[in-house]
Amino acid sequence: MKKLLFSIFFLYLNIVSISLFAQEDSISRELNKSIRVLSEPVVQLSDVVRLNERPQTHDTLTIPVDIRYVIHTKPVATTYEIKTLKAVNVTGDKLQELYRGQLSLGFGNYAKSFANLRFMSERSRRQQAGIDIYHYASAGKVKLESNQKVPAGYSTNYISAHGKLFKDKIVLSGSITPHLETVHMYGIETDSLIVPNNEIYDTTIAKKDSQRRIFSLTTQGMISSRDTKAEQYKHMQKILHDFTLITPKLYENHIALASEGSKKLEKMTVGYTSNFRWSSISFNPLDSVCSQNFSQLTLLPFITTSLENWNLHAGIKLSNVWGFKQFKAYPDIIFSYNYNNHALVPYLQYKGNLETYSLKDMYAENPYCIDSLMLQPTNFASIFKFGIQGKIAQNIPFNTFIGFSKAENMHFWINDALFTDTAQNKFNVVYDNTSIFTTGFETGIQQKAFSMNLRFQYSNYSLDSLQRAWHKPGLEGKYSIRYNIIHPRTNKNKLILRADVFYEDMRYAQQAFTQNEIKLAPLFDCNLGVEYYYSSVLIAFLDFNNLTATRYERFYQYPVQRFQIMFGITYSFSGLRK
């Protein structure tokens, strides 16, 4: 009986084994299989810093394959053909040597000189430090309408030392920058019909009235969070101190504190920004409204949320100024909708701002203003803006908008006669309430070999009492292009061509004595620049400014230098390959 059962079981195993196959009888049919790719191929080459197109190295990739198969008792012959795999060819994209130092020197007409030295510490995950020394000056003259040549030189010099410390969760940074700027107040009145007693102002007599030095010492420190996770709290705190010296008797101490933070919750992001500034000057301002001290605190809590394609940022800005006794509250709202994967994004913005000005802010805007002047705050009661941004093509973004603003106590520059004798080479301010209508368009292209930017804006000022918005342009335009000629073998820059065109029109000024309206000539400035890369270490540059030699005035009676040219070299040193 046992032998019979064993024979039956053995016979059953042989019958079952006949139906097991490793491959089907017809080798023309594919295996019944499924392939799971865990990740894309990752190229790791020691000398690659930037690849235009990543090589597809499928031959070195290990792909786990899951195949359902069975066992066949006899082999099946297969056909195959051996092919040689092509090696990956990477040319021209080896890691360039890093340089810690760079020196640039240049010279040009109008007795121009340029020098810039920068030096950085070695790359580190823990710390970074550097120094930047800058000099740019001109000792040339310009010709006034009376054909009188006057010194119109200027200079900018600074030394900036900065550093960073990278901790586990925060970044500490700081810098100190002494800065010295010199300008010549050469914009004297030359019309004998306007100058009292037909006396032409002699700038050689009163040198103190024809040259101004502005010295500032800026010290700042900042601490910011380092975590990039969306759900983590992000924060930044910054402190800045500015000491600005105009003459031994005119100086200002200015302290600014800034703080911001945000945290992403489940459906929204909550955050805040806050700013505090304090200013103390050493002189009594000519404007009785201004005091020797003022301070301002601004706080803006906000929320940001998105629902499908709808985006909303909403907050309220609270601002109080001590010294001018002003408190204001403004909405801060930005609403947008993403259409067709950001191809069109209509947006709406409504906000306001109470803007104060330090002594340094004022001289940066107009270095030719009269002594002992301080600017009053400007209340931008409402700033409304509607626009559409998006993409004309995959790589051509655009933004077009219209805006309406209301400003109280906005300042405008006029030539002064009371404090400048007969020269009229300094500026005073007048104030007025205004409604401003603006519309504009901007677009650009950003590629490795070619980039272009175009911006256009029209502004119309409706004033309460003033005749014109003095020295404010009604029409502004800027067009800039940059083209890189790249070496075909090394894939590095060989020649860079740059062109910039600036245009401003509809600008008006007021004569000091007659108070007549003067329409300023359109500001048209065309610049051209060339950079030739002799090697990765040595670069030669050539710049042409005001290529058309157009005569225009940024401020009334201050004609700019006309055709300008500067040439020089840039040398990199102290290389590293870490």
3-state SS, residue 16 = helix
Q: What is the DSSP string of 485-512?
A: EE-TTT-SEEEEEEEEEEEEE--EEE-T
Rounded Cα–Cα distance for residues 236 and 240 (Å) = 13
Listing DSSP states for 173-241 in one string gives EEEEEEEEEEEE-------TTTSGGGPPP-TTT-GGGTEEEEEEEEEEEEEEE----TTS-EEEEEEEE
State both tokens at 438: 């603006």
Torsion of CA 13, 18, 22, 27, to 10 degrees: 180
Give me 415's structure tokens.
């030539």
> Does the global pTM surpass 0.85?
no
SS3 labels along 238-306: EEEEEEEEEECCEEEEEEEEEEEEEEECCCEEEEEEEEEEEEEECCCCCCCCCCCEEEEEEEEEEEEEE
Contact 401, 357 (CB under 8 A): no
How would you class 358 by CB atoms within 10 Å of its CB: exposed for 0-12, middle for 13-18, buried for 19 or more?
buried
- How many angstroms separate the first and last alpha carbons of the chain? 83
Q: What is the pLDDT of residue 39?
A: 35
Structure tokens at 175: 């810098």
Tell the residue number behind the tokens 């309220």, with chain if given. Answer: 316
Contact 419, 386 (CB under 8 A): no
Predicted local distance difference test score (pLDDT) of residue 31: 33
For Cα atoms 222, 224, 228, give the angle at the middle one, nearest 5 degrees. Answer: 155
Tokens of 21: 């196959």
Spatial CA neighbour of 89 closest among 56, 138, 130: 56
Going residue by residue through the chain, which has 578 residues, state the pLDDT in tens, using 9 for 90 and above: 545 444 544 444 444 343 333 333 433 333 333 333 333 333 333 333 333 333 333 333 333 333 333 344 445 556 667 877 777 655 544 556 678 999 999 999 999 999 999 999 987 888 999 999 999 999 998 888 878 888 888 999 999 999 999 998 899 999 999 999 999 988 877 765 555 554 555 544 445 567 899 999 999 999 999 887 777 899 999 999 999 999 888 999 999 999 999 999 988 999 999 999 999 999 999 888 888 999 999 999 999 999 888 999 999 999 999 988 889 999 999 999 998 877 899 999 999 999 999 999 999 999 999 889 999 999 999 999 999 999 887 788 999 999 999 999 999 999 887 655 556 788 999 999 999 999 999 999 988 888 999 999 999 999 999 999 999 999 999 999 999 988 777 677 789 999 999 999 999 998 877 788 899 999 999 999 999 999 889 999 999 999 998 888 889 889 999 999 999 999 998 876 54
The pLDDT score that the predictor gives to residue 7 is: 53
Query: Does residue 118 sit in helix, strand or coil?
Result: strand
The helix or strand, by DSSP H or E, that contains position 374, with its residue range, turns out to be none
Cβ-based neighbour number of residue 37 at 10 Å: 9
pLDDT of 395: 80
Residues 272, 299 contacting (CB under 8 angstroms):
yes
- Tokens representing 38 are 């865990």
